[in-house]
Structure 1
Amino acid sequence: MMKEIDKMLSGDIYNTRDPELMELAFRAKKLIETFNNTSVDETEEKERILKKLIGNMGEGVWIEKPFFCDFGKNISIGRNTFINYNCVFLDNNKITIGENVLIAPNVQIYTASHPIKVSERINTNPQQNEAPYRTYTKPVKIGNNVWIGGNSVILPGVSIGNHTVIGAGSVVTKSIPDNCVAAGNPCKVIKRDIN
Structure 2
Amino acid sequence: MEENTKKMLAGKPYRPDTEELKKISSLAHRLSRDYNMTTDEDEVERKAIIDRLFPNHGQNVYLQGPIEVDYGQFTHLGDNFYSNFNLTILDTCPVTIGNNVMCGPNVTFATPLHPLLPTQRNARKQSDGKIADIEYGAAITVGDNCWLASNVTVCPGVKIALLELDR
TM-score tier, shorter chain, comes to over 0.9
Partner of 1:9: 9
Task: Indicate the residue corresponding to 1:24 in structure 2.
Answer: 24
Structure 2 vs 1, CA of residues 81 and 115 (structure 1 numbering), >3 Å: closer, same or farther?
same
* AA at the equivalent of 2:134: R
Structure 2 CA distance, aligned partners of 1:50 and 1:124?
A: 37
Figure out how many residues of one structure are paired with residues of the other and give that number: 164
Q: What residue number does 2:152 align with?
A: 152
The one-letter code sitting in structure 1 at the alignment partner of 2:88 is V
Structure 2 partner of 1:77: 77
Partner residue, 2:100: 100
- Partner-residue secondary structure (3-state), 2:125: coil
User: Given residue 140 of structure 1, which amino acid in structure 2 is its aligned partner?
Assistant: I
Kept after mapping to 2: 8 A contact 1:64/1:84: yes
> Distance between the aligned counterparts of 1:45 and 1:124, measured in 2?
43
Contact 1:18 1:129 in 2 (8 A): no
State the alpha-carbon separation in 2 of the partners of residues 130 and 24 from structure 1: 21
Taking the TM superposition and a 5 Å limit, the aligned residue runs for 1:1-195 are 3-126=3-126, 127=128, 131=132, 133-163=133-163, 179=164, 194-195=165-166
| Consecutive unaligned residues in structure 2, runs of 5 or more | none
The answer (yes or no) to whether the contact 1:102–1:146 under 8 Å persists in 2 is yes
Contact 2:125 2:131 (C-alpha < 8 Å) held by counterparts: no
CA RMSD after TM alignment:
1.5
1:129 Cα deviation from its structure 2 partner: 5.5
With normalisation by structure 2, the TM-score equals 0.92
CA distance in 2, matches of 1:130, 1:16: 12
- Percent pairwise identity: 29
Look up the SS of the partner of 2:68 in the other structure: strand
Q: Judge conservation of contact 1:58–1:79 (CA < 8 Å) in 2.
A: yes
Alignment-mate amino acid for residue 6 of structure 1: K
What corresponds to 1:186 in structure 2?
none
TM-score of the aligned structures, taking structure 1 as reference length: 0.79
